[in-house]
Structure 1
Amino acid sequence: MDVLPGAEPFAHDGSRTGVLVCHGFTGTPQSMLPIAQRCADEGYTVRLPRLPGHGTNWKDLNRTRWTDWWSAIDAAYAELERRCDRVIAIGLSMGGTLATLAAQTHPYGIQGLVLINPAYTMRDIRLKALPALQHVVPSIASIANDIKKPGSTELAYDRTPLKALQSQRQMWAQVTRDLPQVTQPLLLMHSPDDHVVPPECSALLLARVSSTDKTEILLTDSYHVATLDNDAPLIEDETVQFIQRVAERPV
């Protein structure tokens, strides 16, 4: 299995504040590398895994399920938990779903949550037929590269594998059901002009979590892959400020 150049995972050992970074569906660590590198530059311990089935060939992704992706995130969390006093989880799109699941699964270990255009549902009418369609059609057109900034490109698959997408829907259902279990400080940054994830996702998150410390920031100059878009500097600055604030709280 050959990993695409640029799709490699990222790790950095720094302070006793850990940062768990999660990339999105059909994407790679490349979409989250700038924010992971910024956190490393700030001195934090960082883990950004490559999710199983990603960064190789879309057919590989169709052979994995959401539990495989979660296992990679949970293993990265376990590394951070051993080294650090506190861990903040960051996720883009489906990476936001996985970061949310990490907060639900480890309510005392994950002490802050940064979500960028997190995914909990999609509007696509074809999803209603997905349980049957996945057995007939292996893939549909790509959802990648929804970026406003000229010249910025996401390293991601050119097809969307349907068996993997159906599995992601099952994860959405579980994570959405358990949103009230999220109590950690939350920083939500989302794009009003997002062609992949509908605005209902952010509204659902804010309405259902139990967090009392919630900050919402609109990314008005970016599309879905905002970490590679015009608002990337804003995202990085706000994330670092959030981590600094969470790190000052008693463990």
Structure 2
Amino acid sequence: MALLAGAEPFSHTGTSGTGILLCHGFTGTPASMRPWGEHLAEAGFSVRGPRLPGHGTTWQEMNRTRWTDWYDTVRSELLDLRTSCDTVFVFGMSMGGTLALRLAQEFGPDIAGLALVNPSVLTLRRDAKLLPLLSGVLASVPGVAGDIAKPGVTELAYTRVPVRAAASLSQLWRLTRADLHKVTQPLLLMHSVVDHVVEPVNSRVIAEGVRSNQLVDVPLEHSFHVATLDNDAPLVFERSVEFIHSVQQVQTT
């Protein structure tokens, strides 16, 4: 299956001994994470931005994948990154944040910290409860991509939401939400004040459910959902580097 131009995964080998795994969102591509990755690379970190299975090709292909496929990919990247880096952080946006939380639940202290942008663990949409039923009769619904406040900026993502894949995402949400208490790593939680895709309640549920020994809450006042490409992108990038340094400073004292 041919990749969409710009949907390619990316990687960079840094000099600091610290590695960052970047996880993109549902129906999105590594393109939404690439500017963040470039900023981290310039700061000297090793960076991995994998493409999740079924993403960056066609929504029909994505309908043949499940959350375990997406998780296996980021898990494999994490394990590989750990072989070359002394310290590893996991950063994620939207569903990428869900995957990051799930990794934290599995790997515990082997992950130094998490930085999440508009992560999701639930939805308040009533029709979401029908996803298991709809997945048997409906292939796709209109997409959720492109929620960006900055004029002239677009997101490389599907214009349709594959329903069977979305039903699988809801399973990932339930599992991750139930295990939030297992997240004890330092957490940088960045969330848009106005988000038309992931409801604000998600960040509140995460903040109240984790047992992180260090939690930094950063509201993003000038961006919509895809904040890594939006007006607050420089803030996201700067705060994430500051977060890494602050975590490492605590670890060395």
> TM-score, normalised on structure 2?
0.97
Corresponding residue for residue 3 of structure 2: 3
Corresponding residue for residue 39 of structure 2: 38
Shift of residue 246 of structure 1? 1.9
Shift of residue 125 of structure 1? 1.7
Corresponding residue for residue 194 of structure 2: 193
Q: 3-state DSSP class of the match of 1:108?
A: helix
Taking the TM superposition and a 5 Å limit, the aligned residue runs for 1:176-187 are 176-187=177-188
Which digits, 9 at most, give the CA deviation of each residue in 1:52-86, with x for residues without a partner? Answer: 00000000100000000001100110111101111
Corresponding residue for residue 127 of structure 2: 126
Q: Does the 8 A contact of 1:131 with 1:166 survive in 2?
A: yes
Corresponding residue for residue 154 of structure 2: 153
User: What value does the CA root-mean-square deviation take over the aligned residues?
Assistant: 0.9
Corresponding residue for residue 20 of structure 1: 21
| In 2: Cα distance, 1:8 partner to 1:248 partner | 34
| In 2: Cα distance, 1:54 partner to 1:225 partner | 16
Taking the TM superposition and a 5 Å limit, the aligned residue runs for 1:100-111 are 100-111=101-112
Corresponding residue for residue 92 of structure 1: 93
Which digits, 9 at most, give the CA deviation of each residue in 1:173-232, with x for residues without a partner? Answer: 000000000001110000110000011100000101001211101001000000000000
Which digits, 9 at most, give the CA deviation of each residue in 1:147-181, with x for residues without a partner? Answer: 00001100000100000000000000000000000
| In 2: Cα distance, 1:157 partner to 1:124 partner | 20
Q: 3-state DSSP class of the match of 1:106?
A: helix
| In 1: Cα distance, 2:64 partner to 2:232 partner | 34
Corresponding residue for residue 165 of structure 1: 166
Corresponding residue for residue 61 of structure 1: 62
| In 2: Cα distance, 1:89 partner to 1:100 partner | 9
Which digits, 9 at most, give the CA deviation of each residue in 1:66-115, with x for residues without a partner? Answer: 00000110011011110111111100000000011111111121110001
| In 1: Cα distance, 2:194 partner to 2:229 partner | 15
Q: 3-state DSSP class of the match of 1:107?
A: helix
Which digits, 9 at most, give the CA deviation of each residue in 1:134-154, with x for residues without a partner? Answer: 111100000000000001100
Q: Does the 8 A contact of 1:17 with 1:247 survive in 2?
A: no
| In 1: Cα distance, 2:35 partner to 2:54 partner | 22
Corresponding residue for residue 247 of structure 1: 248
Q: 3-state DSSP class of the match of 1:230?
A: coil
The percentage of aligned residue pairs carrying the same residue is 50
Shift of residue 34 of structure 1? 0.6
Q: 3-state DSSP class of the match of 2:161?
A: strand
Q: Does the 8 A contact of 1:122 with 1:196 survive in 2?
A: no
Q: Does the 8 A contact of 1:12 with 1:46 survive in 2?
A: yes
Q: 3-state DSSP class of the match of 1:250?
A: helix
Q: Does the 8 A contact of 1:17 with 1:86 survive in 2?
A: yes
| In 2: Cα distance, 1:68 partner to 1:59 partner | 15
Which ranges of structure 2 fall in alignment gaps of 5 or more residues? Answer: none
Q: Which amino acid aligns with 2:233?
A: A
Q: 3-state DSSP class of the match of 1:69?
A: helix
Q: 3-state DSSP class of the match of 2:109?
A: coil
> TM-score, normalised on structure 1?
0.98
Corresponding residue for residue 210 of structure 1: 211
Corresponding residue for residue 238 of structure 1: 239
